[in-house]
Chain A
Amino acid sequence: MKALVYVRLKSEVLDPQGQAIESALKNLGQKKISNVRQGKLIEMDINSHNIDEVKKTVDQVTKTLLANTVIEEYSIEIK
């Protein structure tokens, strides 16, 4: 199965990258865009057909490695 893990800064945490992108978009004339936030997408294949097991594993590795839950939140999509 394939898992997609989206990691992004929690909404209350400052995102300098998102801010810089937003102001660059504004300079390009896109005045209607706001709240730009930048995150990461991590893709992986998992050799298992048990969706519960896959969810559990991915959640585990995300908590321990992929995201620093002090500042980041994540969501998982299994395909």
Chain B
Amino acid sequence: MDIYKKHGIDEKEKKLLLDYMERDPSNTEIGIFSVMWSEHCSYKSSRYWLKNLHTEGKQVIQGPGENAGVIDIGDGQVVVFKMESHNHPSFIEPYQGAATGVGGIMRDIFTMGARPIALLNSIRFGELNHPRTKYLLSGVVAGIGGYGNCVGIPTVSGETGFDSSYNGNNLVNAMCVGVAKSDKIFYSKASGIGNPVVYVGAKTGRDGIHGATMASGEFDEDSEKNRPTVQVGDPYAEKLLLEACLELMQKDAIISIQDMGAAGLTSSSVEMADKGQVGIELHLDEIPIRQKNLSAYEIMLSESQERMLMVLTPEKTEVAKNVFKKWGVDFAIVGKITDTKNIKVIHQGNIEADIPIRYLTDNAPIYERKTIKKSKSVEYRDKIFDADTKEFILKVLNSANICSKKWIWEQYDRTIMANTLNSSGCDAGIVRINDTNKAISMSCDVNPRYCETNAKIGAIQAVAECWRNIISSGAKPLAITNCLNFGNPEKPEIMSDFVDTIKGITEASIVLDYPVVSGNVSLYNETNGSAIKNTPTIGGVGLIENIDFLDDFGDPKIGDEIVLIGKIGEHLACSTLEEVIYGETTGEPPAVNLNLEKNIGKAVLSLIQDNMITDCHDISDGGLIISICEMIMLKSKLGAKISVSNKNIINQLFGEDQSRYVVTVSQNNRYNLFSRLEKLEIENYILGKVTPKELKINNNITISMDELTNAYESLIPSIMCN
């Protein structure tokens, strides 16, 4: 096979490369081009569209383009966060793939000078009864936990989904949130001709060579055999690297710093030099290596984990060396910044590569791929389900996507750092910022069923749901990150959905003032030509300025009134109920009226912060009745008695209309609540009351607590056999 083709460089790209170089490139150079021009590093299919994202706002300090996004939370503090995919590696080796995904995203955060305070994840697998799902689920969950628990960062929220489209490609999207001082943020821009380039962290081995090109190609049945070099994560090494880096960051020694993630030394050195418009020279003989006889090609392309590259001020080099020595972490001066604007690689006396950096970055191929819009929704079945309401409720609670994920999150340390205020799997995770009365609220959301049926509506809905979850926790939504997981972008209908997704995210984030500050794209999630459902995961962050109101929130009391804020449910097309009852959905997903979303969200936030309501939950998958069950019965272990009109009862209970919340209000506050909602002209309906036990609907449907709990909690443990 042609060496270029073997590197995933097609004929057109090969010609471009040869034109640029005006000579035959060395193998190392071809390797460098191949990873820098891979989809994973160059975003060649998506870059053209990503620039349309809404990335600005007065809260934004750093938008996309750095290791992570940075937002202002006042008092000289900032929040640094990002989400990243590790889909392909975790399909091959679920434990290590997921673990290194967590490790990688954590490094993106502390690279910027922030101490990580929380982890989140969004993971998706094939059908629960698919033969590989159990193996992948237990491996991924153990891997996420194994890494985060060991480093000592709480995993506070997440979501897990199951769908046959992930049978051959599971998704692991990991998010990390950190806090830094606003005057101590570190960037990757290199500067200072002659300044030393320093390598710190674990030694380099043959791990994951071509991980970046692997993440940019489709799977076929031979994939498992073809990839002998999966990276192994070492959370212990990460913990030491984290502490050493944060200590050095207090000493004014670092000019720029970049984590070695995908495409390792190559992409980190190229990115640092590119941002600073300088050149970089690397002496590979100085790189700490784990195995003998690594070639220049292997050193440049290795994806060994837990490594960083830094540019230091020369006079502080000794100080830096001592910090890393103290933590037992390797430290080596491996090169210098030059004025050539080239990357020059020297190994055993030979110049192994000398490439103008712009060819690897700005002048890398970029594609405006063909798009063909294809409507995927089939005509709505428009059939009123007249079966047993009770059976429907229990079936939905017992379905893979709705049921309790306790089996999963009990494997994640959620209480370490002693600042986790809510981690019970409801809505968002909330973490207090140490030594303050402030807290950060975080959530990950997407509904692939909606996104696959109508990419734009689905993307808007994902942003809106993520906004709603932050609101429900009592926090003001500030900004989002995303992980855009799609199939093969060379297929025009997938590319069309990708473009619509960007449009949807943009529209929603403009109206909601919820800008995108970081993110990641994962394409080619296909096996044997069959793609995953479009899965643009949104990770949101919000701020609670003073947590005092939380003391009287989240705890509904018997006798409280249950109130629906928003319209009465109608929309059953593309719903969870359809999926659970028929195994497939029909019609279009529910559209979001973004202005209404914003008004209702702001009103609900003020109700929570003014302690006018005792609890709040957004209404999403499964509709009103599932939200009531989750909030009152399954979380608070109380009962509810509600009445709804006898017409279209199924639509009212299971409709997935958007921009809605269910809240509970004490008798003392009910007048204030209704008068405020009236003044704001926000639709609302009294549904019933919180009772000591059991769910009662219209006096003719009764479901006991045991029935509800059993339906909700038994599914995953029964599949996983414990």
Contact = CB atoms under 8 A, between A and B. Distances in A.
A/B: CB atoms within 8 Å of each other: yes
Interface stretch (A12-20, A37-45, A54-62): A12-20
A9 B206 CA distance: 13
Contacts of A20: 236
B325 interface: no
B424 to A, nearest CB: 33
A70 B207 CA distance: 12
Interface string B328-355: 1000000000000000000000000000
B545 interface: no
A9 B230 CA distance: 11
A34 interface: no
Nearest to A15: B232
A14 B231 contact: yes
A10 to B, nearest CB: 7
Contacts of B93: 68, 70-71
B232 A16 contact: yes
Contact of B236 (A11, A13, A16): A16
A77 to B, nearest CB: 24
Contact of A13 (B92, B224, B232, B237): B232
B5 interface: no
Interface string B195-233: 000000010011100000000000000001001111110
A42 B675 CA distance: 70
A23 B207 CA distance: 21
A contact residues, range: 10 to 19
A20 B202 CA distance: 12
A15 B96 CA distance: 12
B229 A16 contact: no
A16 B230 contact: no
A23 B92 CA distance: 30
B92 A70 contact: yes
A14 B224 contact: no
B237 A16 contact: yes
B229 A13 contact: yes
A20 B234 CA distance: 10
Interface string B228-268: 11111010110000000000000000000000000000000
Contact of A12 (B206, B237, B305): B206
Contacts of B305: 14
A75 B629 CA distance: 53
The A interface, classified by DSSP as helix, strand, loop or mixed, is loop
Nearest to B209: A12
A9 B228 CA distance: 11
B290 to A, nearest CB: 7
A14 B232 contact: yes
A70 B230 contact: yes
Contacts of B291: 11-12
Nearest to B231: A14
Given A9-B232, A14-B234, A15-B232, A71 B206 contact: no
Contacts of A13: 205, 207, 229-230, 232
B304 interface: yes
Nearest to A23: B328
A12 B232 contact: no
A47 B96 CA distance: 35
A12 B289 CA distance: 12
Interface in A1-49: 9-16, 19-20, 23
A9 B304 CA distance: 15
Contacts of B205: 12-14
Contacts of B234: 14, 16, 19
A68 B227 CA distance: 12
Interface of B: 92-93, 96, 202, 205-207, 224, 227-232, 234, 236-237, 290-291, 304-305, 328
Interface of A: 9-16, 19-20, 23, 68, 70-71
> Shortest 10 CB-CB distances between A and B: which pairs?
A16-B234, A14-B232, A12-B206, A70-B93, A70-B230, A71-B230, A70-B92, A13-B232, A14-B205, A71-B93
12 contacts: A12-B228, A12-B291, A13-B230, A13-B232, A14-B205, A14-B231, A14-B305, A16-B234, A19-B234, A23-B328, A71-B93, A71-B230
Given A14-B290, A70-B93, A71-B232, 11 more contacts: A9-B232, A12-B205, A12-B206, A12-B207, A12-B291, A13-B205, A14-B207, A14-B234, A14-B305, A16-B237, A71-B93
